[in-house]
Amino acid sequence: MLPDDFQPERYQSLLDEKTRKCAELFAPYTHLLPTVLSSPLEAFRMRAEFRIWHEGHDLFYAMFDKDNPKQPLRVDSYPFGSTTLQKLMPALRSAIIHDPVLRERLFQVEFLTSTTEEALITLIYHKALSDEWETKARYLAEALGCHIIGRSRKQKVMLDQSSIGERLNINGQDYQYRYYEQGFTQPNAAINIKMIEWVSQYLKDSSRDLIELYCGLGNFTLPLSRQFRRVLATEIAKSSVNAAHENIALNRIENIAIARLNAAETAQALRGERVFKRLATLPHALGDYDFRAILVDPPRAGLDEDSLHLARTIDTIAYISCNPETLARDLEQLTLTHSVDAWAVFDQFPYTQHTECGFILSKRP
């Protein structure tokens, strides 16, 4: 989001327009009105990345307009960013602008923050990072009260840790998470909480089980586990699987099993078409599960054929989508066997055209 996009006076009209377009797109599959979950007007974005632009003795954060990608747009303030992020941006610039070791060939800065006011800054360089750089960076981390990682080609310097803590209150209960550098996290914490609470209204069956595809670090998995007998969550990225295991342990939850499978492999395993050694350590055999519900949160490409087939065999489907176009494509298949019970618009990215949606579908008798 570019600084000029910050137009709080237009927020509601922009959200109304996004909602209208989604309603038109989904009209063939439902005539229900959506739940619209609005964002805070500012300080909502928990992570951001900026190019660092050098002009003589000056140095500043920069972004680029896709219509003019060679012209840097100077960013002196970023009202979208969390309060922690907004505080760190000028402090970091002031600290490095006159320090030749820290500023030399600095190419990009990435900020990761949490609602608990922890922060991790990644400084990315076009040079090898020396012992002198590490010493300077340690002083910088202490002065800013945050964690710092340095990166350059084939080099990563982690001064103390590569993650920060997050605590989200969901349906009146606190959940702890570890968020890792370069791992996926939901960008808008306020909308993330609303999104999980919206899904939790419809996924409740303490006597049966939930299967989740694309579970990531356990964002949905942890709170939804309270509402089911067992949860089997799958994710292909090894780093996300490790983070999910850590988050399960942090919250002392005992009814979640994580399998490192992609969505298609999960469907094939459940149909008995393939046997995976990666499933050997699960506390329960696949045949012991009784899946009443499935949660999918796929990438922009949407669901593959195997995943669609799997979803259509399960009573309740919760589909979280970051791409309304592929969601509409998948609804064409899902609504052959299921009806739409509810849908929602999640305004993860205010002031942009980007829209996230959620659908709840139940199997027809």
Range among 1-10, 41-50, 202-211 rated most confident? 41-50
**Structure token digits, residue 281:** 């350590």
Question: What region, left, alpha or beta, does residue 349 occupy, with left being phi > 0 and alpha being psi -120 to 50 degrees?
Answer: beta
Tokens (6 digits) for 209 = 């089980």
* Catalytic residue (choose from 42, 166, 356, 357): 356
The mean pLDDT value for 252-269 works out to 94
What per-residue confidence (pLDDT) applies to 70?
Answer: 83
- Is the model's pLDDT at 90 over the cut of 90? yes
Q: How does residue 180 score in pLDDT terms, banded at 50, 70 and 90?
A: very high
pLDDT-derived band at 226, boundaries 50, 70, 90: very high
Q: Give the separation between CA 28 and CA 23, rounded to whole angstroms.
A: 9
Query: What's the whole-number mean pLDDT along residues 63-89?
Result: 92
H-assigned helices in the chain? 11-26, 83-96, 100-103, 131-144, 189-200, 221-224, 238-250, 263-270, 305-311, 324-334
146 is catalytic: no
**pLDDT at 321 (0 to 100):** 97
Q: How confident is the model over 320-343, as pLDDT tens digits?
A: 999 999 999 999 999 999 999 999
Give the contacts of 119 (CB within 8 A, at least 6 positions apart). Answer: 84, 85, 88, 111, 112, 113, 144, 145, 146, 147, 164
Q: What is the pLDDT of residues 23-38, one digit of tens each?
A: 999 999 999 999 999 9
Catalytic residue among 181, 322, 325, 332: 322
356 is catalytic: yes
Cβ of 248: how many Cβ atoms within 10 Å?
A: 22
Query: Domains of the chain by range and CATH?
Result: 3-41+188-363 (3.40.50.150), 47-163 (2.40.50.1070)
**Could you tell me if 82 and 45 are in contact, meaning their C-beta atoms sit under 8 angstroms apart?**
yes
User: What is the average per-residue pLDDT within 138-159?
Assistant: 97
State how far the Cα of 221 lies from the Cα of 212, in Å rounded to an integer: 8
State how far the Cα of 204 lies from the Cα of 347, in Å rounded to an integer.
Answer: 25
Average pLDDT, the chain: 95
- 3-class SS shares of the chain: helix, strand, coil, % to 5: 30, 35, 35
71 vs 221, residue with greater confidence:
221
Residue 128 to residues 102, 124, 125, 178, 216: CA-CA distances in angstroms? Answer: 12, 10, 8, 29, 32
**69 falls in which pLDDT band (50, 70, 90)?**
confident
CA distance 177 to 165: 6
Q: What percent of the chain has pLDDT over 90?
A: 89
User: What is the C-alpha separation between 44 and 31, in angstroms, rounded?
Assistant: 31
Question: Is a pLDDT exceeding 80 seen at residue 1?
Answer: no
pLDDT at 109 over 80: yes
pTM (two decimals) = 0.94
**Can you give the pLDDT at residue 205?**
81
Nearest to 84 by CA among 146, 34, 36: 146
Specify the pLDDT at position 189: 98
> Quick one: what percent of the chain has pLDDT higher than 70?
99
